């Protein structure tokens, strides 16, 4: 069972909002501070100013002349920290022993509210960001994903385009992005640990953060549109790395996400699953799977991915289509559904065994929706999932999706097009 905990939403005097999660008898404190400050909020010509801001975080700030001095002070009792930038958000995170929560909170305040951006640090981090992005050229799954997203209508930059923006970024671009995004109403926080006796002190400290009031920046709305096949040729790849992506232009509910997870488990979740298990037993695919996601951007996705030798690709893809059609016909047994539920309930039992994992559960939803999704609600959602729920969602995706098939490898355009045409027999039947 997850660790016992109590979640309370806090609204600061400034309007900033967040969570204090009391985890009795824990010895660790987890800190998460998030802003809508990702790539979506940077000017396209200097898009990596957001990434560079993240790299410069927890560095030179009031009282700390270098990033090394700050790091030495922050970690001296075993605490660790990091920062992450993604399309929508930028998050600052850390963990420490309970004994030093106050010191760590003060260091957070210095880093986030009183940073000092220097040309020397910017020049160094430009090199680090470039190294990071160039190294991703061999991450074929990432490369294919970015090409597919672009084909489906995303205007977000791919890695080569990101690299092009680095050199033109000036120190003022990083400073402007910081001023635009790092405001109190645009901030969300989560502080988790054995904190009941410190709650008032934590709130007092957060109320002292000196940032502009600002506004909550809106989430970028996305719309997917079907695309021809996405073919990325790599002469040196002997197999086909593929991704079949199906999008619907709406956000799924939490209950619907549970139903999609159950479907994924039935189709590809285990060595005895309908698609992955059968493909393994036939010796036609070593590794493949499926996934689903939903986001406040307004797009929800269902995808199949994997690696397959060219001579086995048609057999695998026909197996995927065959099993999807069975689901559409309502061919899901009670035994399969019960097994998927039992698997999910077991996952719930193992979830939330650390303070950071509990905080992660709440921040993943709260930072986007400003709503608390209680961890203890998971079992009821899992148990209430029905075959009808799963079939209804599968039909919505198949009959109303925007989709494409992407492949990276040494397959010819003609070979990939034949696979695309095969999936089109299933997917080009959009409801009018």
Q: Are 304 and 324 in contact (CB under 8 A)?
A: no
How many residues are recorded in the chain?
432
Q: What is the mean pLDDT of residues 71-82?
A: 96
Determine the pLDDT at residue 57.
Answer: 86
**pLDDT class for 205, splitting at 50, 70, 90?**
very high
CB atoms within 10 A of CB 149: 23
pLDDT tens digits for range 362-393: 999 999 999 999 999 999 999 999 999 999 99
- 429 has pLDDT over 90: no
Average pLDDT taken over every residue of the chain:
96
Q: What is the mean pLDDT of residues 176-197?
A: 98
Q: At what angle do helices 387-400 and 310-328 cross, to 10 degrees?
A: 120
DSSP string, 208-250: T-------PPPPPP------S-EEEE-TT--EEEEEEEEEESS
Q: Which residues contact 181 (CB under 8 A, 6 or more apart)?
A: 35, 36, 37, 41, 90, 217
Question: Quick one: CATH architecture of 230-427?
Answer: 2-Layer Sandwich (3.30)
Phi (first) and psi of residue 386, to 5 degrees: -120, 165
pLDDT tens digits for range 214-237: 999 999 999 999 999 999 999 999
Query: Is the full-model pTM beyond 0.85?
Result: yes
Determine the pLDDT at residue 213.
Answer: 97
Q: Do β-strands 90-97 and 239-248 pair in parallel, antiparallel, or remain unpaired?
A: unpaired
Tell which residue, 252, 230, 240, has the closest CA to residue 302. Answer: 252
Judge whether 6-207 and 230-427 match in fold.
yes
Q: Are 328 and 398 in contact (CB under 8 A)?
A: yes
Phi (first) and psi of residue 371, to 5 degrees: -135, 145
Domain 6-207 has CATH 3.30.830.10: yes
pLDDT tens digits for range 294-331: 999 999 999 999 999 999 999 999 999 999 999 999 99
Q: What is the mean pLDDT of residues 147-163?
A: 96
Q: At what angle do helices 67-75 and 101-113 cross, to 10 degrees?
A: 160
pLDDT tens digits for range 9-46: 999 999 999 999 999 999 999 999 999 999 999 999 99
Report d(CA 384, CA 28) in Å as an integer: 34
Q: Where are the domains of the chain?
A: 6-207, 230-427
Report d(CA 124, CA 126) in Å as an integer: 5
**pLDDT class for 432, splitting at 50, 70, 90?**
very low
Report d(CA 308, CA 318) in Å as an integer: 13
């Amino acid at each position: 069972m997850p660790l016992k905990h109590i979640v309370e939403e806090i609204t600061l005097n400034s309007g900033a909002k967040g969570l204090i999660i009391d985890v009795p008898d824990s010895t660790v404190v987890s800190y998460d501070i998030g802003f809508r400050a990702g790539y979506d909020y940077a000017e396209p010509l200097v898009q990596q100013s957001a990434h560079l801001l993240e790299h410069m975080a927890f560095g030179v700030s009031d009282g700390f002349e270098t990033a090394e001095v700050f790091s030495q002070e922050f970690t001296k009792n075993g605490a660790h920290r990091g920062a992450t930038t993604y399309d929508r958000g930028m998050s600052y995170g850390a963990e420490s022993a309970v004994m030093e929560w106050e010191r760590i909170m003060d260091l957070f305040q210095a880093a986030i509210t009183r940073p000092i951006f220097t040309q020397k640090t910017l020049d160094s981090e430009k090199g680090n960001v470039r190294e990071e992005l160039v190294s991703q050229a061999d991450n074929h799954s990432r490369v294919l994903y970015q090409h597919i997203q672009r084909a489906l209508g995303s205007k977000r930059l791919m890695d080569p385009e990101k690299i092009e923006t680095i050199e033109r970024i000036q120190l003022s671009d990083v400073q402007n992005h910081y001023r635009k995004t790092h405001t109190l109403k645009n901030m969300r926080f989560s502080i988790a640990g054995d904190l009941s006796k410190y709650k008032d002190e934590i709130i007092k400290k957060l109320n002292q953060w000196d940032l502009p009031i600002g506004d909550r920046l809106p989430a970028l709305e996305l719309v997917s549109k079907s695309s021809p096949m996405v073919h990325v040729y790599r002469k040196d790849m002997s197999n086909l790395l593929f991704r079949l992506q199906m999008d619907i232009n709406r956000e799924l509910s939490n209950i619907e996400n549970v139903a999609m997870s159950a479907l994924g488990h039935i189709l590809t979740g285990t060595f005895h699953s309908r698609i992955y298990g059968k493909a393994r037993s036939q010796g036609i695919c070593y590794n493949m799977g499926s996934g689903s996601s939903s986001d406040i951007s307004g797009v929800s996705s269902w995808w199949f991915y994997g690696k397959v030798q060219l001579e086995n690709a048609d057999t695998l893809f026909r197996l995927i289509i065959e099993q999807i059609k069975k689901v559409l016909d309502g061919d899901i047994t009670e035994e399969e559904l019960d097994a998927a539920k039992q698997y999910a309930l077991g996952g719930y039992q193992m979830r939330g065994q650390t303070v950071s994992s509990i905080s992660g559960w709440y921040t993943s939803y709260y930072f986007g929706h400003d709503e608390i999704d209680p961890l203890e609600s998971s079992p009821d959602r899992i148990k209430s999932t029905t075959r009808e729920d799963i079939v209804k969602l599968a039909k919505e995706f198949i009959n109303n999706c925007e989709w494409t098939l992407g492949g990276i490898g040494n397959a010819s355009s003609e070979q990939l097009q034949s696979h695309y045409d095969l999936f089109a027999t299933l997917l080009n039947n959009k409801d009018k």
